[in-house]
Amino acid sequence: MVALAQIDFKLLLCLNALLTHKNVSRAADEMHMSQPAMSRTLAKLRELFNDPLFIRTSHGMEPTSRAVALTQPLQCTLDQLSSLLISQDFSPQLCRRNFRLHMSCYTSQAHLAAIATSFYAQAANAQLEIIDIKGKSLQYHNAQAIDLALVSDATYLPDYFHQLHVGNEEMRCFMSANHPLANRELDLESFIQYPHIVVTLGGGPNMLIESLLSDVGKSRRIGFRTPHYINALEIVSKTDMLFSTPPFVPQGFAPQFNLVAKKIPLQIPAYHYNLSWPPTLHKDPAHIWLRELCAREIRSNLSTL
């Protein structure tokens, strides 16, 4: 049995990093250690738990059953230990904290200006750090590296995170005002007649469109793929391609790019947005302030749709 006196808190953090990355080099980078130092730490952990913990295979480092069994209790333990360090007093005016806000390209374009304006008006000495979300990226982050995430239906999220619903968007199909379909109702045959633009953010509503079309024996042709949202708006404004997307951002650019929006001729569910955060920060007063500020600004923006 492992005695508590034998356990160094940093050893647990290192074990958590190893379980997250299953790679000594990446775990060392997260902990700001050298690879040899992390290897020595792994040796100590193996001795401490009397188990190899990780086995090297052709697919990389694979955790043993003992390591897998440690994963959830370890995360809960680290969350509880972190909560001991949270101050119960918070003043935005005195705050110098760096807050890490995970957002997609689309949601940052949609809501970051409003969030930042309110944030710095109240906490001029604090910092916002924006980290780009990809489809499954939050699953590969240590929970302690995430303060707050604005997630959508396209985002895979650890199931133990808290969530707060902040709004919905109904998908629309955007096209140039000079498009042959611009002055008529969009039907299904017209929708699949022209090539489409897809912003590649790792899943989401575009995959759902393919599935819905398949259900009725139809398909569409993808003419342009890009990871950059503004690129998509520029290209759709200068071609006969169509772009299916939540509408908040493109409607703001519609006058600049001469765009019109049409209802998509498919029964597509609303696109849902949630703020999400790890349980470590659930009762942190500074975090409560941040998420209430973000929720307020996002809801205000989406109320204009």
pLDDT tens profile 193-246: 999 999 875 444 457 899 999 999 999 999 999 988 899 999 999 999 999 999
For 101-135, write each residue's pLDDT tens digit: 999 888 999 999 999 999 999 999 999 999 888 65
Assigned fold of 4-83: Arc Repressor Mutant, subunit A (1.10.10)
Please name the amino acid found at residue 12.
L
CATH label, 95-169+271-302, candidates 3.20.20.140, 1.10.8.60, 3.40.190.10, 3.80.30.20: 3.40.190.10
Per-residue confidence (pLDDT) for residue 59, from 0 to 100: 78
CA 192 to centroid of chain Cα atoms: 30
Mean pLDDT of 62-79: 86
Confidence tier at 253 by pLDDT (50, 70, 90): very high
Per-residue confidence (pLDDT) for residue 10, from 0 to 100: 84
Per-residue confidence (pLDDT) for residue 202, from 0 to 100: 46
Whole-number percent of the chain with pLDDT over 90: 56
Per-residue confidence (pLDDT) for residue 77, from 0 to 100: 80
Can 95-169+271-302 and 172-263 be said to share one CATH topology?
A: yes
Rounded to two decimals, the pTM is: 0.66
Is residue 273 over pLDDT 50?
Answer: yes
Per-residue confidence (pLDDT) for residue 58, from 0 to 100: 81
Cβ-in-10-Å burial (0-12, 13-18, 19+) of 173 comes to buried
Higher-confidence position of 87 and 261: 261
Angle at 128 between CA 154 and CA 123, to 5 degrees: 130
Closest CA to 106 of 236, 246, 6, 210: 246
The domain segmentation of the chain, as residue ranges, is 4-83, 95-169+271-302, 172-263
Per-residue confidence (pLDDT) for residue 204, from 0 to 100: 46
The architecture CATH gives domain 172-263 = 3-Layer(aba) Sandwich (3.40)
Per-residue confidence (pLDDT) for residue 141, from 0 to 100: 59
For 185-195, write each residue's pLDDT tens digit: 999 999 999 99
Q: Are strands 162-169 and 127-132 parallel, antiparallel or unpaired?
A: unpaired
109 CB neighbour count, 10 Å cutoff: 18
**What does R_g of the chain's alpha carbons equal in angstroms?**
23
Rounded distance, CA 44 to CA 65, Å? 18
Per-residue confidence (pLDDT) for residue 165, from 0 to 100: 95
